[in-house]
Amino acid sequence: MAESASEIEWRISDALVPYDEAVAAMEARVAGIRAGAARELVWLLEHPPLYTAGTSARPGDLIAPDLLPVFRTGRGGQYTYHGPGQRVGYVMLDLQRRGGDLRAYVRDLEEWLIRTLQRFNVKGERRDGRIGIWVAESGGRESKIAAIGVRIRHWVSFHGVSLNVDPDLAHYRGIVPCGISEHGVTSLAALGITATMPEVDAALEAAFAEVFGAEAALARQRARD
């Protein structure tokens, strides 16, 4: 069971946040949580267009190395794309206080995304052997709509999830997303669903409360740049 809502900060950044700045901010917050000097944090944001390479990234999966900036990162997983129209959720929680079960935490992140998508009448599903959340499309095609990549330091989590709302899906052609070439990538917009980012944020917040046990009225800080 999660701690009380007053101990979780819910932050939403309106402006695009450079990836290196976000990583530095996460590093500082993780250290603060570990030291007992900072609250846990859920941070929703968008990045400028870029590719990130996780700890399992294979060089051959970067198809177009000159298309966008590439950042090496300590999160798990392979190559992924971030950019405008994609809601990134960075989650910094003290997992030791929440049972110390990493597999359960990843499953909770999956459930968070699944319940968020349900609010837009989209059936997001897990797939054995494939990280992330998938949707079944016509003709038996399956496409990824949300990604998960986490890192744990001293039982404090960071990095997190990304949900495709209305990004430029053409940018995914520069990589093999998460090392999977036989399936596609989609978004709410590509599925014909018009959703504003505030609507997605509200859905994420409500679903987070259901999954992690926090009250819906989380402490908020809206960052405006």
Query: What is the pLDDT at residue 19?
Result: 96
Query: What is the pLDDT at residue 145?
Result: 97
**Residue the block writes with tokens 């996780």:** 54
DSSP one-letter code for 10: E
CA distance 82 to 167: 8
The residue ranges of every structural domain in the chain are 5-223
CA distance 82 to 169: 10
Tell me which fold the domain 5-223 belongs to: BirA Bifunctional Protein; domain 2 (3.30.930)
User: Which amino acid does the sequence have at 144?
Assistant: K
Query: What is the pLDDT at residue 222?
Result: 53
Mean pLDDT in residue range 45-71: 91
**pLDDT score of 2 more than 80:** no
Query: What is the pLDDT at residue 57?
Result: 84
- Taking only the tens place, the pLDDT of each residue in 126-183 is 998 888 999 998 777 899 999 999 999 999 999 999 999 999 999 998 988 755 566 7
By mean pLDDT, which of 54-68, 83-97, 209-223 is the weakest?
209-223
Query: What is the pLDDT at residue 214?
Result: 59
Q: What percent of the chain has pLDDT over 70?
A: 90
- Taking only the tens place, the pLDDT of each residue in 21-49 is 999 999 999 999 999 999 999 999 999 99
* From 88, 165, 178, 203, the catalytic residue: 178
β-partners of residue 181 are none
Q: Which of 40, 49, 50, 47 is nearest to 11 (CA)?
A: 40
70-72/50-53 β-pairing: parallel
Q: What percent of the chain has pLDDT over 90?
A: 69
CA distance 126 to 103: 14
CA distance 170 to 63: 13
**pLDDT score of 89 more than 60:** yes
**pLDDT score of 8 more than 50:** yes
Q: Which of 75, 93, 76, 91 is nearest to 156 (CA)?
A: 93
80 in helix, strand or coil? strand
CA 147 vs. chain centroid, Å, equals: 6
CA 116 vs. chain centroid, Å, equals: 12
Mean pLDDT in residue range 67-88: 90
CA distance 154 to 188: 35
CA distance 201 to 128: 28
- Our answer to whether residue 142 is catalytic in this structure is no
* Residue 219 confidence class, pLDDT cut points 50, 70, 90: low
* Residue 104 confidence class, pLDDT cut points 50, 70, 90: very high
Query: What is the pLDDT at residue 136?
Result: 92
Query: What is the pLDDT at residue 215?
Result: 44
